[in-house]
Amino acid sequence: MKLLKEKIEKEGEVLSDVVLKVDSFLNHQIDPFLMKEIGDEFAKRYSDQIITKVLTIESSGIAPATFLGLTLGAPVVFARKRKSLTLTDNLYTSKVHSFTKNETNEISVSQKFITADDNVVIIDDFLANGEALKGLIDIVNQAGATIIGAGIVIEKGFQQGGKALREQGLRIESLANIKSLANGKVEFYD
């Protein structure tokens, strides 16, 4: 996605060979015009499928997932990382390790929001090692729902998560796939 790649090149900040900071438009401040384009692009890429739910994980996946849900007319469900007084019973749960924060969280989704009748696309901001996607896949599988695929805003293609999940048969649509962050420069796969 040309617009996204341009935004990454202009506003992204390479913090190391494995960390890209995009807080000016995705992870802290959100560019709603870009998010609308991202939602439209995911909808176009999955136009061959019937999607009944969009699933993401809090918090940075919520904006792109919401714009996709708006475009599709499908509800958006986000897995919660923190315990809630109102979310205690009848939950699907899974453990997810965060590469960026170096911590493991138990994520949860209410069983009333994903059922065996659903066709689910999973949306997330980044794909590196694939841990968040694995946790969300686990939740969809617990529900007995159908996984249509995953939409990733930025994939770190130099890490193994995307490759491993594709080898397991998961359809992954990445809007920007990074080949390298070496020497403080973002290099994309074609």
Q: 13 with 183: CB under 8 angstroms?
A: no
Taking alpha carbons only, the member of 180, 158, 155, 176 closest to residue 38 is: 176
Q: At what angle do helices 62-72 and 32-45 cross, to 10 degrees?
A: 60
177 labelled binding-site residue = no
37 labelled binding-site residue = no
Q: At what angle do helices 32-45 and 2-11 cross, to 10 degrees?
A: 140
102 labelled binding-site residue = no
105 labelled binding-site residue = no
Count of CB atoms situated within 10 Å of the CB of 88 = 10
- Written as six digits, the tokens of 39 are 């939602």
141 labelled binding-site residue = no
Angle formed at CA 14 by CA 175 and CA 164, multiple of 5 degrees = 45
150 labelled binding-site residue = no
Task: Look at the chain and count its residues.
Answer: 190
At which residue do the structure tokens 């341009």 appear?
A: 6
Report the C-alpha gap between 71 and 63 in whole angstroms. Answer: 13
Please name the amino acid found at residue 122.
I
156 labelled binding-site residue = yes
79 labelled binding-site residue = no
Residue ranges at the known binding site for 5-phospho-alpha-D-ribose 1-diphosphate: 128-132
Residue stretches of the annotated binding site:
20, 27, 128-132, 156
Residues contributing to the annotated binding site for xanthine:
20, 27, 156
